Structure 1
């Protein structure tokens, strides 16, 4: 599925990941179609081939980590932890900073692969280039009682 073929709101893929019980081939192909801009990559055919092998062998967690390596080269896994039935995954750009200084992406799920994929999709959305105009615009939500006021001093 091409990335620009359907206009979906950014949280829809996160909702699908949150609601899924386990990672499946269908869910992985949806992530590849909607969130991955570099897969398949012509310049990095070795990484792409590795991801394809992992997907064929249904190694979902390893495939998710390989996707992070391919799609988000500036991001690194900061922490993967298991606590009270949930897997927690944190991705960071500055892994060497203390926790309280770092602005990391954190996700959790009962399935390890889905926790990593959720963090990946969140980081991908944060890294996505925004289409902003070159000239800033002014908000147009004028109140009904709005009256312009001249505050120049003509004295």
Structure 2
């Protein structure tokens, strides 16, 4: 796991988004703090400044889309739909594929900005899972009672 994601807990952030009534400045800043790797980069000062200006203006949907553009350059919004009082947002790496072939990540909520951020958090959780090695790491510190023994028979 990378250093940037050591404090990232996708289930708690997803739970907080699900239970939110609407987007707030503190919730958006918490998402940036816990789920964003590229946001504080020096080379992206203009883009991060734009996101912060949108947050200050409380333009939540625009801020969410700008944050996704900054953090997830390979992902695009595939679908935004409103159905029975909820917004459904799907993010995809390959928008041109038919729905049944695409592995889109979806988020849903009554508030459009939170639905977008829910999908964003799910994609970031996938990124955390992808950075884990396929083989578990074994510690290098041997047990205090461990003593190597030679077992060769030269006779």
User: Under TM normalisation by the shorter chain, which class is it?
Assistant: 0.7 to 0.9
Deviations 1:14-65 (A, max 9, x none): 0000000000011011001000011122112221111011011011111010
Unaligned runs of 5+ in 1: 138-155
TM-score, L = length of structure 1: 0.80
SS in 2 for 1:43: helix
Per the alignment, residue 95 of structure 2 pairs with 95
SS at match of 2:100: coil
The normalised TM-score by structure 2 is: 0.80
Give the direction of change, closer, same or farther, for the CA distance of 1:127–1:104 in structure 2 (3 Å limit): same
Instruction: Give the number of the structure whose residues are more often helix, by fraction.
Output: 2
Name the structure 2 match of 1:75. Answer: 75
Q: Distance in 2 between matches of 1:131 and 1:12?
A: 19
Q: Is the 8 A contact 1:109 1:115 kept in 2?
A: yes
How many residues matched? 134
**SS of residue matched to 2:63:** helix
Extract unaligned runs of 5+ from structure 2: 137-155
RMSD (Å), alpha carbons = 2.0
Contact kept? 1:3, 1:33, Cα under 8 Å: no
